Amino acid sequence: MKLRMMSAFAILLCGRGLLHAWGDKGHRIVNGTMLKTLPPQVQAWYAGKEGYLRDHASDPDAWRAHDRKESPRHFVDTEIYGGAEKVPLDAAEAIQQVGSEAFKRNGQLTWVIQDRWKDLVEAFQSGDRDKIAFATAILGHYVGDAHVPLHSTRNHDGQETGQRGVHVRWESGLVERYVVESELKVRPAQVDPDVMKAPWKWLRDSYVLAPKVLASDKEADRTAPANLRGTRREGAYWTIFWAEQRETVMQCLERSSEALGDLVISAWVSAGKPSVK
Ligand SMILES: [Zn+2]
């Protein structure tokens, strides 16, 4: 009971900070699978670094514990701007539109991806393989978050629709139970001439998927006995939720890895296509 009260208190304190996109398994998969998308001359920079990319895929989630500014770097509540289509590209414009407090509170994910991508360009310019691995692992985390549908909406945990906990059920519950990494299929990375705008596209795509995630959760929930709702779910719930969301979960993981591959190859080109010495 004491523990329960403490965790309720922790939730009150941290609020959204406790939600971890993709869970560790999903983030590890995104970073590791990305390597498959790269051409050999870029892949060479990551020789022996796959374990590192996976092991550090969730670092930004851990940073939330000691940095209060970290949590809003993992999402954008697009409704504040009038929907995912209307989120300004320019942070200054976003601040002007909603005020700096609301800008801070409603998330900065897309702008953070731009900044972390610039870190990766600098890392390639430095030719330091450790720096490249670190910058890639961190960038990969945020790219993964941008592909989680519920990271694009104010109703991020189903709190407005009586579905609290759906966030973790989708990104961790399903991924940990069902995703087999070897079943993911990814296309080769492509240089993106509009690389700085890409995160806004991912956000729009995520926002389109969010209502179906919530609808599938509701549908699966109809099968669970009322006394189990809100805390844990039974086998039937998971079977139905997975049947409804399998394609979306797999596609979001694949797209995350592909998008990260596009950012990596674009950063490498921007850095002047350095080759490993
Ligand atoms: Zn995150």
- Ligand 1 centroid to 143 CA: how many Å? 9
pLDDT tens sequence across 37-62: 999 999 999 999 999 999 999 999 99
pLDDT at 197 over 50: yes
Asked whether residue 113 is domain-assigned, the answer is yes
Report CA 85 to chain centroid distance, whole Å.
19
Say what the pLDDT of residue 8 is: 39
Q: Supply 163's token pair.
A: 């579905």
- Ligand 1 centroid to 70 CA: how many Å? 9
Average pLDDT over residues 161-182: 94
Question: Structure pTM?
Answer: 0.91
Say what the pLDDT of residue 13 is: 38
pLDDT at 200 over 80: yes
8 A C-beta contact, residue 210 and residue 245: no
Query: What whole-number distance in Å separates Cα of residue 29 and Cα of residue 68?
Result: 27
Say what the pLDDT of residue 155 is: 95
Q: Supply 142's token pair.
A: 């945020």
DSSP H helices, 164-234, are 166-168, 175-178, 198-221
Instruction: Count CB-CB contacts under 10 A for residue 125.
Output: 15
- Ligand 1 centroid to 21 CA: how many Å? 5
Q: Supply 156's token pair.
A: 């991020």
Average pLDDT over residues 249-260: 98
Average pLDDT over residues 253-273: 98
- Ligand 1 centroid to 64 CA: how many Å? 9
8 A C-beta contact, residue 118 and residue 172: no
Domain count, the chain: 1
Say what the pLDDT of residue 88 is: 97
pLDDT at 11 over 70: no
- pLDDT band at 101; cut points 50, 70, 90: very high
CA distances from 260 to 4, 22, 37, 131, 147 (A): 39, 15, 9, 16, 11
Please provide the distance, in angstroms rounded to a whole number, between the alpha carbons at the two ends of the chain.
59
What is the domain range of residue 126? 19-270
- Ligand 1 centroid to 107 CA: how many Å? 11
**Mean pLDDT of all residues in the chain?**
91
**Higher local confidence (pLDDT), 162 or 233:** 162
DSSP H helices, 109-197, are 109-126, 129-146, 166-168, 175-178
pLDDT at 79 over 90: yes
- Ligand 1 centroid to 276 CA: how many Å? 31
Closest CA to 177 of 243, 130, 224, 92: 243
Residues above pLDDT 90, as percent of the chain: 84
Asked whether residue 120 is domain-assigned, the answer is yes
**Higher local confidence (pLDDT), 263 or 232:** 263
Query: What whole-number distance in Å separates Cα of residue 223 and Cα of residue 238?
Result: 10
Say what the pLDDT of residue 236 is: 84
- What is the 8-class DSSP label of residue 264? H
Asked whether residue 56 is domain-assigned, the answer is yes
Asked whether residue 13 is domain-assigned, the answer is no
Average pLDDT over residues 257-273: 98
Asked whether residue 69 is domain-assigned, the answer is yes
Q: The domain spanning residue 76 has which CATH number?
A: 1.10.575.10
- Ligand 1 centroid to 203 CA: how many Å? 14
Query: What whole-number distance in Å separates Cα of residue 165 and Cα of residue 163?
Result: 6
Query: What whole-number distance in Å separates Cα of residue 228 and Cα of residue 160?
Result: 20
pLDDT tens sequence across 105-149: 999 999 999 999 999 999 999 999 999 999 999 999 999 999 999
Asked whether residue 12 is domain-assigned, the answer is no
Question: For 82, how many CA atoms within 13 A lie in the half-sphere containing its CB?
Answer: 7
Query: What whole-number distance in Å separates Cα of residue 135 and Cα of residue 143?
Result: 12
Asked whether residue 220 is domain-assigned, the answer is yes
- Ligand 1 centroid to 61 CA: how many Å? 5
- Ligand 1 centroid to 96 CA: how many Å? 26
Asked whether residue 114 is domain-assigned, the answer is yes
- Ligand 1 centroid to 144 CA: how many Å? 8
**Higher local confidence (pLDDT), 15 or 20:** 20
pLDDT tens sequence across 219-242: 998 876 665 555 567 788 899 999
Say what the pLDDT of residue 22 is: 82
Say what the pLDDT of residue 233 is: 78
Residues above pLDDT 70, as percent of the chain: 89
